[in-house]
Amino acid sequence: MSMVDVVFPPGASQRDWVSDGILAVSLTLVSIVPYLVGLEQPIEYSALVALSASFTLPLVLRRHAPLAMLALSTLAGIFQLILVPVPTVSLVAVPVIAYSIARWVPGSLARSVLVVGAFASVLGPMRWVPGSDTNPSADILFWGACLGAVLTPYAIGRRTREVAEARAHQVQTAEERYTLLLAEREQQTKLAEASTRAMIARELHDIVAHSLSVMIVQAEGGRAAATRKPEVAAEALDTIAETGREALHEMRRIVGVLRSDPSSPEQPDYAPMPTLRDIPDLVARTSDRARLVVHGTAFPVTQALALTLYRVAQEALTNFLKHAGPDAHATVTLTWSSGAITVDVIDDGEGIENPTDGGGNGLRGMYERVTSMGGTLTAGPRAGRPGFRVTATIPVHGNANRPLPRRS
């Protein structure tokens, strides 16, 4: 705390100025009225009134400049001690001065009022009571009463200050805790939004990219067969139309969920999640150059695990259609075991040099899906032979209670 803050404590408001001014004027009136009504005094009334007022009026500074108040009142008390042989009514301000210094002055500087009060408690009775040295017991009693008028309000003021500081510290701690809580909630909200955006991006990519790839392959095949086998071209157009309708339907469902109001009684129509039982149909609809091989006996698995492996197979087949070439073939191997389930997609096509060509959203999405389930994913060109391979393995144990949001 700077010296300016010690001399002029911060926090005093205009309302404090008014209340302190009322207090100072009230005590001044109490101090001077007895002399104004004509009580007999050993000195002139005007001087007595001035001395009394100079002792009480500095109370207007008790919260804004308490040390200045103490200095002015002490100076006025010295003049009273010299000029007035009896105690004045203005001494009623002593407890207020002691309390104010203890309440508003921090640290050891507040004890200055005790030093001044101790000297005044001894010098005052010696000045006011003639022959006070003849009765030591009475002197000690008188001095103790004067000193008690300083010590008691001082103790009350220090205690009040300690309570106020403790309460302010609690408020500050609560504000800091609340600010930290808001920051944590904001961070959690951002993470949740990022996770939701990533999930939506994966779903859109898997649905749209696969459907468009199938449509492109069918369109190219239909164009090649249009002159030689018109019926094959017609079948390709039917497949394109069906695939396009399915993709459009899925897109509308997703957009409907994103635009829906959770509080609305009309909830969007949700479709069931794809599962491992849908992989044979996926392979069949993708291309007649893709086949499915199953090892092991199927058993119930969680929706999250089934959807993840389905999306991996879907994305791998999409990449096969886009990059392997028109003469390539693909094999999808689904292996069931007691500890894990594996999807292995191998093609013998031309492949690509950079597996992240085109932005890498597909491989990145597969990796995010598989690792979130505690599994492993490997993807890259086949060693020593043409083609590309994608292998995803997800453990069965530990995925039984993983929550999965409903798919639109």
Residue 243 pLDDT greater than 80, yes or no: no
pLDDT at 267 over 50: yes
Length of the chain: 408
- Round to whole Å and give the CA distance between 369 and 377: 10
Backbone angles phi, psi at 382, to 5 degrees: -75, 145
352, 311 Cβ separation under 8 angstroms: no
pLDDT of residue 356: 46
**Per-residue confidence at 116, pLDDT binned at 50, 70, 90?**
very high
Q: Across 65-115, where does the E strand assignment appear?
A: none
Question: With 60 as the cut, is the pLDDT of residue 269 above it?
Answer: no
Please report which confidence band the pLDDT of residue 225 belongs to, taking 50, 70 and 90 as the band edges.
low
Rg (CA), the chain: 46
Closest CA to 93 of 59, 64, 143, 49: 59
Which pLDDT tens digit goes with each residue over 295-314? 999 998 888 898 889 989 98
List the single range of 128-132, 141-145, 147-151 with lowest mean pLDDT.
128-132
Residue 8: half-sphere exposure toward Cβ, Cα within 13 Å: 2
Q: How far apart are CA 16 and CA 64, in angstroms?
A: 9
Residue 402, pLDDT score: 46
| pLDDT mean over 332-358 | 80
Task: Name the packing angle between helices 136-225 and 361-372 (round to 10°).
Answer: 130
Average pLDDT over residues 387-395: 93
Alpha-carbon distances, residue 270 vs 259, 260, 304, 397, 407 (angstroms): 13, 12, 16, 28, 6
Pairing label, strands 330-336, 340-347:
antiparallel
The reported pLDDT for the residue numbered 401 is 43
Residue 312: enclosing H or E segment and its boundaries?
helix 303-323
Beta-carbon contacts of residue 255 (< 8 Å; ≥ 6 apart): 408
Cβ 377 vs Cβ 396: under 8 Å: no
Cβ atoms 290, 302 nearer than 8 A = no
User: What's the mean pLDDT in 18-39?
Assistant: 84
How does 268-295 read in b/e, with b if 16+ C-beta sit within 10 Å? Answer: beeeeebebebbeebbebbbebbebeee
Residue 34 confidence (pLDDT) above 60: yes
Residues 167-222 have pLDDT tens digits of 999 999 999 999 888 888 888 888 877 777 777 776 666 666 667 766 776 676 66
DSSP state of 305: H
Instruction: Work out whether strand 330-336 and strand 376-381 pair parallel, antiparallel, or are unpaired.
Output: unpaired
Looking at residue 346, its pLDDT comes to 94
pLDDT > 60? residue 359: no
Q: What is the pLDDT of residue 341?
A: 94
Grouping H, G, I as helix, E, B as strand and the rest as coil, residue 93 is: helix
Who's near 95: CB < 8 A, 6+ residues apart?
A: 149, 150, 152, 153
Q: Residue 184: is it exposed, middle or buried by C-beta count within 10 angstroms (0-12/13-18/19+)? A: exposed
Q: Give residue 375's pLDDT band: very low, low, confident or very high (50, 70, 90).
A: very high
Collect all residues with Cβ–Cβ distance below 8 Å to 306 and sequence separation of at least 6.
273, 274, 275, 276
- 8 A C-beta contact, residue 56 and residue 31: yes
From CA 408, how far away is CA 403, in angstroms rounded?
A: 16
Q: Is residue 357 pLDDT above 50, yes or no? A: no
Sign of CA dihedral 31, 35, 36, 39: positive
Mean pLDDT of the chain: 80
Distances (CA, A) of 79 to 56, 60, 76, 116, 263: 14, 20, 5, 14, 79
- Give residues with Cβ within 8 angstroms of 308, minimum separation 6: 369, 370, 372, 373, 375, 392, 394
